[in-house]
Amino acid sequence: MRNLASPRVIKEILSEYEFRFSKSLGQNFLVDEGALAGILSGADISEDDCVLEIGPGFGTLTQRLCGAAKKVVCVEIDKTVIPILEENLKDFDNFEIINDDVMKIGIKSLAEEKFGTENVKVAANLPYYITTPIIMMLLESKVKFKSITVMVQKEVAKRLCASEGTKDFGAISLAVQYFCNANYLFDVPNTSFMPPPKVTSTVVRLDLLDKPRVSVKKEEMFFKTVKASFAQRRKTLLNALSNAGFSGFSKAEISEILKNIGIDEKRRGETLSIDEFARLADALTK
Ligand code: SAM
C-alpha cells in the first residue's frame, strides 16, 4: 500500500495521473504521519464504529480509517480524484465512495441508508472554503452522530470551542454548545500539507449530546435569536434585536421582555450564556 503521508508519493501520483490540486475545492492534502495518527486517536475509532468521511482526497486518512473502523463511507465532490482514491483503497473492502457534494447529498437519508442504526462517527480534514456550513449542516441534520472530529482553520476551531464573554464567541459557538461538548485537540502547521494552506490548522472533536444542552419552546426561535444578536456584534442586545424586526415586536416591547427576564438591554450578544439565550428565545416565542 502506498504511503500517502509522503510528499514524494504524492508527487508521483500527481505526475502519474496528471492531477492538479484544485484551490477552489480546498485541496490541501495532509502529508504528516503524526497529524494523521492524532486524528485517528482523537476520533477514537474502534472496530465497532462506522465512519462518515467528508473529502477523502487521495485517501490518506481514509486508509487509516478503513484499517480501524467497521465501515467507512466517504463523500468526495471531485470526480478526477475517484480513480486515485479507488486505487489507494484497493487493499480494503469495508468502504464505499460517493462522488457527490456533501452539502447537496441529503445527509440524513444517506446516514439511514448506509449505516442504519449503527454508531457513526464523522472524521474529516475539511475543505476550508465551506468549513462552517458543513459543520452546521451536520449539527442540524438530526443524525445521531457520536462525534465529529474535524481539521479546520485554527481561527474556526477557536470559535467552535469559545465560551461566552470571549472575543471568539459567536453564533457557531452557541450552535456547538447547544448540540455538543467541544474539545480543542491539537494544532497542525501549514507545512504538514501539500500544497500548504496559508493558515495553521487545528483538529477538534465535537461529542454530540444525547439531547440539546438547553430545552427551548421552539428551536427555530432559539437560533433566530442567536443569529440576530450576533448579526451586529457591536450593537446592544436591544438594538440588535429590534433591528432584526423580531416577529413584529416593537423596540419598547423587546425592552420590556428583556427587563422581565432580568437581562440588561445594554448588554451585547457575546456576553450572554446559552441559558440566557434560551430564556430570551422562549420569551420571544409567542
Ligand atoms: N482527506 C484528504 C487529506 O486529508 O489529505 C483531503 C482533504 S482536502 C483539505 C478536502 C477534500 O474535500 C478535497 O479532496 C476536496 O476535493 C473535497 N471537497 C471539497 N468540497 C467538497 C464538497 N462540497 N463535498 C465533498 N467533498 C468536497
Is 51 buried (19+), middle (13-18) or exposed (0-12) by CB count in 10 A? buried
* Same structural domain, 227 and 91: no
Q: Residue 264: its pLDDT value, please?
A: 96
* Same structural domain, 99 and 234: no
Q: Residue 231: its pLDDT value, please?
A: 87
* N-term to C-term CA, the chain: 60
* Same structural domain, 72 and 193: yes
Per-residue pLDDT of the chain (286 residues; tens, 9 = 90+): 889 999 999 999 999 999 999 999 999 999 999 999 999 999 999 999 999 999 999 999 999 999 999 999 999 999 999 999 999 999 999 999 999 999 999 999 999 999 999 999 999 999 999 999 999 999 999 999 999 999 999 999 999 999 999 999 999 999 999 999 999 999 999 999 999 999 999 999 999 999 999 999 999 999 999 999 998 878 899 999 988 777 678 899 999 999 999 999 999 999 999 999 999 999 999 7
Question: Position 282: which residue type?
Answer: D
CATH code for the domain in which residue 41 is found: 3.40.50.150
Q: Residue 25: its pLDDT value, please?
A: 98
How far is the C-alpha of 128 from the C-alpha of 274, rounded, in Å?
27
Counting DSSP H helices and E strands in the chain, the numbers are: 12, 9
Ligand 1 atom index nearest CA of 101: 24
Q: What share of the chain is helix, strand, coil (3-state, %, to 5)?
A: 45, 15, 40
CATH code for the domain in which residue 278 is found: 1.10.8.100
- Tell me the residue range of the domain where 270 lies: 219-284
Q: Residue 255: its pLDDT value, please?
A: 95
| Residue 152, φ and ψ in degrees, nearest 5 | -135, 175
* Same structural domain, 38 and 112: yes
- ipTM reported for the complex, 2 dp: 0.99
Ligand 1: residue of 6, 14, 19, 27 to mutate (most ligand atoms within 8 A of CB) is: 27
Ligand 1 atom index nearest CA of 36: 4
Give the chain's domain count.
Answer: 2
* Same structural domain, 111 and 158: yes
Going from the Cα of 19 to the center of ligand 1, the distance in angstroms, rounded, reads 15
Question: Which of 47, 126, 61, 137 minimizes the C-alpha distance to 94?
Answer: 47
Ligand 1: residue of 21, 25, 62, 136 to mutate (most ligand atoms within 8 A of CB) is: 25
